[in-house]
Structure 1
Amino acid sequence: MSQFTVSGRFKSRDGFAEFETTIDAQNENVAREHTLSQFGSQHGLKRSEIELDEVSEQ
Structure 2
Amino acid sequence: MLSENLLAGYFLSCKIVVYKENETTKIGMPKPTTLISMMNHEELKNLAGDIEKRLISCIDECR
TM-score (norm 2): 0.31
Return the TM-score normalized by structure 1: 0.32
Q: Which structure has the bigger radius of gyration? A: 2
Highest RCO, 1 vs 2 (Cα 8 Å, sep ≥ 6) = 1
Higher strand share: 1
